[in-house]
Amino acid sequence: MKILLATHNQFKANEVRQIFQGNNHEVLTLNEVCPELKITEDGSTFAENARKKARTAFTRTGMWTLGEDSGLEIDALNGLPGIMSARFVREDATDIERNRRILLMMIAVPEEKRTARFRCVVCLIEPGGKEEIFEGVCEGRIAHTIRGIHGFGYDPIFIPEGYTQTFAELGQAVKNRISHRARAFQKVLNYLQTRLSSVAGLT
């Protein structure tokens, strides 16, 4: 089954495709389906942004559609960067610039107070318009330096709970098992399996 992921971000698309691998679902992105579609993330929560992405793309295409929004919440920074994770510092800032800014803001924060989490919210819309929301959270802490070469975004400064390495050091295979995005999209996959089995049973 073809599913539209309402994003132009190829890093996110690649992660979702790897999570969906082996489940008979072909994940397409806006780049392949409607490259001209731009969606402004102006919601006040991850759920609002995810729903807007999904609803906007669904209205255009009528496909099974996924909208996703995610970010890093740091306790010592009162939840920042939060929903501004992709636009932290400034709109066109690089990952390195955002990571350096975070580390500078936390330079005096001791180890025990460097707690943080990645949060991901996914909105799924079916062809009939039925809508479901799923959430995944990965607890962890902020490293003191940028570490690792894998992944994207804040991966080089985030150490997931139970590990001593950052996501960027652990690599994609581990991240795709334990990350916020993996947890949210696994819930999507579980729902799809149940939902499609139910629909098939009625035909």
Catalytic position from the list 69, 92, 95, 155: 69
Give the torsion through C-alpha atoms of 185, 77, 94, 183, to 10 deg. -10
- Confirm if 119 and 129 have CB atoms less than 8 A apart: no
CA distance 64 to 151: 27
Measured CA to CA, the distance from residue 149 to residue 6 in angstroms comes to: 26
Sheet holding 131-142, edge to edge: 26-29, 2-5, 64-74, 115-125, 131-142, 158-160
End-to-end CA distance of the chain: 17
Rounded Cα distance between 16 and 22, Å, is: 12
Give the other-Cβ count within 10 Å of 128's Cβ. Answer: 6
Distance CA 56, CA 103 (A): 35
Reply yes or no on whether 69 is catalytic.
yes
Looking at the annotation, which residues are catalytic? Answer: 69
